[in-house]
Every structure is written in C-alpha cells, then in structure tokens.
Amino acid sequence: MTKVRTRFAPSPTGYMHIGNLRTALYEYLVAKKDPEGVFILRIEDTDQGRLIEGATDIIYNTLAQCKLFHDEGPDVGGNYGSYVQSERMKSGIYKEYAEKLIELGGAHYCFCQEEDIQAQRELAEARGESFIFNDPCKKLSSEEIQSRIAAGEKYVVRQNIPSTGTTSFDDEVYGTITVENSTLDEAILLKSDGFPTYNFANIIDDHMMEITHVIRGNEYLSSTPKYNLVYQSFGWDIPTYIHCPPVMKDEHHKLSKRNGDASFQDLVAKGYLPEAIINYIALLGWSPETEQEIYTLDELKQAFNVKRIGTSGAIFDIDKLTWMNGMYLRNMDIDTYFELANPYIEKAVSNKYNHKYIAKILQQRANTLAEIEEMLDFFDNYPSFDIELYNNKKMKSNPEIALPSLKATKELYENLPNWEESTIHDEMMALVEKLGIKNGQLLYPVRVAITGKQFTPGGAIELSHILGKEETLRRLDIAIKQLEQ
RNA sequence: GGCUCGUUGGUGAAGCGGCUUAACACAGCGCCCUUUCACGGCGUCAUUCACGGGUUCGAAUCCCGUACGAGUCACCA
C-alpha cells in the first residue's frame, strides 16, 4: 500500500479560519493515521494582489501552536518541488501539462473573447434558459490553430467535456455522486496570460506531490467531476476524496472572515487553549465511536475515522468550546496552570498579593484565560458598592445582619495570633458558633465587604487570607462605616 | 434558473429495518453539596426524527415526491 499523503493548502489571508483549521486537522489526522503518512503544507499565494504582510507566518504559527506539524512545506523542505504556488507558477509546468492534455484529447485551444461568452450568457439568462457554453473553437483545424497562435493571437486552454454520458466519483463521506456531462461547463485550465486557473493548478500540484487523499470543503463537490475528467484524460490515479460539511455561524451562514467571525487567533486572544480548540473542532462534523469527548491529539489520531464525518453543516457553539476549555484548564497540574494564568493575573493584580495562591483558587472557576482579569479586579481596586449586595436570600443575609457580622469579624481579625488560612478558618467557624448564626450570615457579608462583588473566585476566608490583615481590616472599616450611615 | 448536496431537541450529535416509549455531551431549568460563584453529584428537557406518500409483519433508518436550506455554475482563489 502506498503511504498516505495529504496536503493543507491555505491562502495566506492573514486570518486562520476555523473551518480551514478543521480541514487542516482532518488532513493531519488522515495522514498520521498511517504510521508513514505525510502531511504537507502548500501555500497558495497566487491571490490577485491581496498579499498580506506576515500572513504566512500566521499559518506557520497556527499549525505549530496546534501541534499539527507538517512533514513537507516551504519552511521544512521536501522532495516535491516548491511548496509555494507563486514559485511553481514561474516554472511553466502548468503550461506544459496543459499542452500535454491537449495532445491527449482532454482539452483544446480556445480563442473566444471573454466578453462574447459573457454576452451569450446574459442573453440566455434573460430568456430564463440555463447556459452551457458550446465552444466553436473545438471545431478548429490544427492548421488554423497553429497559424492563429503563430500570429500572436491570445488564447486560453479549455477543458474538453463529453456532451453525453455521465461522470461519477466516490467521496468517502458523501458516497457516489453522478452528474450528467451535459450540465458541465468546459472550464478554462490555462488563462490567456499563460497562468493556470486555481482548479487546474490544484490538480497538477496534487498529482506532482503525489497526494493520495484530497480533503476539502464540500463547496468543491460540484467541481469534482471536472477534476476527474482531467485526471482521466491524463490517465492519472484519482485521489481519495473526502469532502467535509461546512462549519456554520448559524443556520444559514458559514463562519467567515467577512462576518467578522472569530478566527483561531481571535479565540486564542480570548483565552482559549489551542488544544481545546483542536479538540472542539474535531468534534464539529465528526463523531467518535465511543462517548469520549476529551481527546489529546494522539488520541485523536487513534480514534479518527473518515467514515464518521457527517454530511450536514455544523454550527460553531462557543458555549461548548468554553466548557471544554474549562475542562482543559481544570485538569492541568497547578504549575502548568500557573504558568498560563499568571500573565493574566499580572494584568489585574499587583505583586503584593500571592499570585500562585490566586491561581489555585482560580483554576476551578475560570473557563477561559481572558476572563481572569475581570474576576480579579477587586484586588487592586476596592470598588464602592451598593449595600443591596448584602441581600442574599439563600444565605439569609441582609444589610442589618451584615453590620454586626462585620463588626465581630473585625474584632476577631484584629486579635488573631497569625494570618494563616487555617487560623482564620477555625476562628471564623468558632465565631459563627458563638454568635449563633448561619455560616452564610457571617461569611457572605464579609466576602461582600472585602471585595464589593457579588461573585468572587473564592470565599471570605480564602480572600481575607490573600488580601492580608491590614488590607482586609481597612476594607472592613470602610464597609462598616458605609453600613452605619 | 440548471446541477449537486443537505434536513434527528436551542447546539454538537448517536442511531444504518425490530434491542429506541431516540444514547451521550454543551446550553437551559430544578434540586443536592458548599463560606459566594464555580467545580462535582442528581434529576428534567424530542411520544418523535422537515412534510407527504410508498415498501415492509415492522421505518428516524429503504424508495418516491414536496418544502425549506446550502453549495456551485468566473481568464477569483
């Protein structure tokens, strides 16, 4: 069996689309399922002048962050020619192949004017007819063709499509698809400037790079029969096709840059982990055989099976990603977590507080790194707040109950032998006992008083400990004064 | 408009003719745990698989049609 070779062929647009990333993931997984499989990166940078500075770096960085390491590519080399399409263009290979295809009867020269064809098309559409271009140039004699070319007349190379019969292909996810040849347009392969069209370049590149599995979005489903006709004319092996359903923003729209939808970089900036993003998008449109949902990349390689890719579009659900990201955050060891979270903790909390301890209480609560800053804002800035906050039905707390609780806590805190968390805990519990109230009636008001927030990462005891005796007492004082008014 | 593809709950989805009075997960809701929130635990959330026919003893599962949606029909990639 020949070894599997797949390729990821993005355009450097400066934006790593989630759908594209998923395609890259699937390409990587299909390749790596085979111990000798090869995953290739080919940059398709022939976009009409839309070159964006640093855009290829985004592609390299994204793949590296996701650990989707490619075996061949512009930056890592390989034995299959340039991996940058603009460089391949210069070599003239496409023209050679186009001419070869003409010899083989799979294509022909066409001297028609673009405007003429366009006019015909518009005429047909105006009449409500479907338009299939019937190229008169197909009837040209080879002598005439030669003389017109010799005379310097512009031409394109156009694919030959039989006017009868059908063309079928097998897709691993959509099954066998058959179309009537009579509904297929004879596509231009080589443009009048001598450069190939995207689809033709793709066919040639994939063949030259010995790609065995073509994985792409299902928007290519309709053009695949035309691809096959070219392969057949050349007598080349047809790759295995794996068309994937789209990743949607909502019921009707695909996720796209135009809509301003989140890209991979945006998600990372929002505090999502590349591992979690990969894990989540693997499950968008593909389902494993077991009920397992959390997968490492290695586990994904094991579990992945093309046959279980679905056929209908999947809506990107940020809530589920958020949940999954939280799972990753919670399941990592505290040191790793601290390393990841600290930059965010630094943004919100000055060094006078113990960041490591803060990370510990944060780990079970934050689902994304980016939300950390807001969760910790009360450390350096003690906010003013409404005494309404003391009202909590479940805790049986209200401003009236809060005042004596705060006063008692203040007195207790002032006389504590030390500021260990265990000491604070034991003494506070004893105080609850002594006052004959509920835990929440003491601890809830204290927590509100020292943070000014309804929700905090951690309870009154933990937070008192982190804030330190002096700061805690200061805040308690302010809170008591506010309540006394 | 032609062609191609799709349609199971709010979302991702399992299901491949009887084991399904449709799994699992997210979100939601309720309860429990708990010094808040979160975590964790428990429960609830589609009598029904877009709709209509047909095949069959039996259909979400097979066939046909309808509706709706998407993709594609460029000398763009």
Question: What pLDDT, on the 0 to 100 scale, is given for residue A418?
Answer: 94
Q: Would you place residue A31 in the very low, low, confident or very high pLDDT band (cuts 50, 70, 90)?
A: very high
Which nucleotide has the shortest C1'-to-CA distance from A311? B6
Query: Over 80: is that where the pLDDT of A386 sits?
Result: yes
C1' of nucleotide B24: residue with nearest CA: A291
Cα–Cα distance for residue pair A178/A163, rounded to 1 Å: 15
Distance A276 CA to B5 C1' (A): 30
Cα–Cα distance for residue pair A234/A102, rounded to 1 Å: 10
| A191 is near strand B: CB distance < 7 Å | yes
* Mean pLDDT for chain A overall: 94
Which nucleotide has the shortest C1'-to-CA distance from A47? B77
Cα–Cα distance for residue pair A5/A41, rounded to 1 Å: 11
Which nucleotide has the shortest C1'-to-CA distance from A453? B36
If one counts every other C-beta atom within 10 angstroms of the C-beta of residue A307, the result is 9
Long-range Cβ contact pairs of A418-421 (< 8 A, separation 24 or more):
A419/A465, A419/A468, A419/A469, A420/A465, A421/A461, A421/A462, A421/A465
Query: Over 60: is that where the pLDDT of A381 sits?
Result: yes
* DSSP result, A205-232: HHHHTT--EEEEEGGGTTTHHHHHHHHH
Question: What pLDDT, on the 0 to 100 scale, is given for residue A46?
Answer: 83
Question: What pLDDT, on the 0 to 100 scale, is given for residue A393?
Answer: 87
Cα–Cα distance for residue pair A316/A318, rounded to 1 Å: 6
Per-residue pLDDT averaged across A153-168, rounded?
95
Are A186 and A159 in contact, with CB atoms under 8 Å apart? yes
If one counts every other C-beta atom within 10 angstroms of the C-beta of residue A359, the result is 22
Distance A144 CA to B5 C1' (A): 43
Tokens for A44, please give them.
């398709």
Question: What pLDDT, on the 0 to 100 scale, is given for residue A60?
Answer: 97
Question: What pLDDT, on the 0 to 100 scale, is given for residue A49?
Answer: 61
Distance A171 CA to B53 C1' (A): 30
Closest to A76 (Cα-Cα) out of A33, A41, A24: A41
Question: What pLDDT, on the 0 to 100 scale, is given for residue A1?
Answer: 64
What is the reported pTM?
A: 0.95
β-bridge pairing A247-248 and A314-315? parallel
Question: What pLDDT, on the 0 to 100 scale, is given for residue A50?
Answer: 62
Cα–Cα distance for residue pair A20/A217, rounded to 1 Å: 8
Distance A288 CA to B15 C1' (A): 13
Question: What pLDDT, on the 0 to 100 scale, is given for residue A129?
Answer: 79
Question: What pLDDT, on the 0 to 100 scale, is given for residue A270?
Answer: 95
Please tell me the least confidently modeled range out of A30-34, A115-119, A204-208, A316-320: A115-119
Residues 290-349 of A with CB under 7 A from strand B: 291, 293, 308, 310-315, 317, 319-320, 322-323, 326-327, 330
Bridge partner list, A77: A73
Please write the tens of the pLDDT for every residue from A34-74: 999 999 999 999 875 666 778 999 999 999 999 999 999 99
The dihedral formed by the CA atoms of A389, A393, A394 and A398, expressed in degrees to the nearest 10: 50
Which nucleotide has the shortest C1'-to-CA distance from A463? B35
Residues 419-458 of A with CB under 7 A from strand B: 425, 439-440, 443-444, 447, 454-458
Tokens for A87, please give them.
């460089």
β-bridge pairing A314-315 and A175-180? unpaired
Distance A187 CA to B41 C1' (A): 61
Bridge partner list, A397: A392
Cα–Cα distance for residue pair A480/A402, rounded to 1 Å: 9
Cα–Cα distance for residue pair A396/A437, rounded to 1 Å: 10
Which whole-number Å values give the CA distances from A420 to A44, A180, A463, in the listed order? 61, 80, 12
C1' of nucleotide B69: residue with nearest CA: A252
| A473 is near strand B: CB distance < 7 Å | no
Helix, strand, or coil (residue A21) = helix
Per-residue pLDDT averaged across A142-159, rounded?
96
Distance A328 CA to B36 C1' (A): 24
| A381 is near strand B: CB distance < 7 Å | no
Displacement of CA A438 from its chain's centroid (Å):
48
Query: Which sign does the torsion angle of CA A407, A408, A411, A412 carry?
Result: negative
User: Percent of chain A at pLDDT above 70?
Assistant: 99
| A84 is near strand B: CB distance < 7 Å | no
What values do phi and psi take at A159, rounded to 5? -65, 145
Please write the tens of the pLDDT for every residue from A424-442: 999 999 999 999 999 999 9
| A136 is near strand B: CB distance < 7 Å | no
Query: Over 90: is that where the pLDDT of A259 sits?
Result: no
Closest to A316 (Cα-Cα) out of A408, A253, A409, A274: A253
Tokens for A399, please give them.
């401003």
Are A249 and A256 in contact, with CB atoms under 8 Å apart? yes
Cα–Cα distance for residue pair A315/A280, rounded to 1 Å: 12
Query: Which sign does the torsion angle of CA A448, A453, A454, A456 carry?
Result: negative
Matching residue, tokens 């063709």: A145
Distance A115 CA to B21 C1' (A): 64
Tokens for A33, please give them.
């399922």
Query: Over 80: is that where the pLDDT of A128 sits?
Result: no
Please write the tens of the pLDDT for every residue from A394-426: 898 999 999 999 999 999 999 999 999 999 999
Question: What pLDDT, on the 0 to 100 scale, is given for residue A83?
Answer: 97
Helices (H), A304-354: 318-331, 334-348
Residues 244-263 of A with CB under 7 A from strand B: 245-246, 248, 251-252, 254
Matching residue, tokens 């489903």: A221
Active site residues of A: 257
Query: Over 60: is that where the pLDDT of A125 sits?
Result: yes
* DSSP result, A376-410: TTTTTS-----GGGG-BTTTTB-HHHHHHHHHHHH
Cα–Cα distance for residue pair A169/A299, rounded to 1 Å: 31
Strand B footprint nucleotides (protein C-beta < 7 Å): 1-8, 10-15, 23-27, 34-40, 69-77
Burial group, residue A42, by CB count within 10 angstroms (0-12, 13-18, 19+): buried
Please write the tens of the pLDDT for every residue from A261-284: 999 999 999 999 999 999 999 999
Cα–Cα distance for residue pair A167/A242, rounded to 1 Å: 17
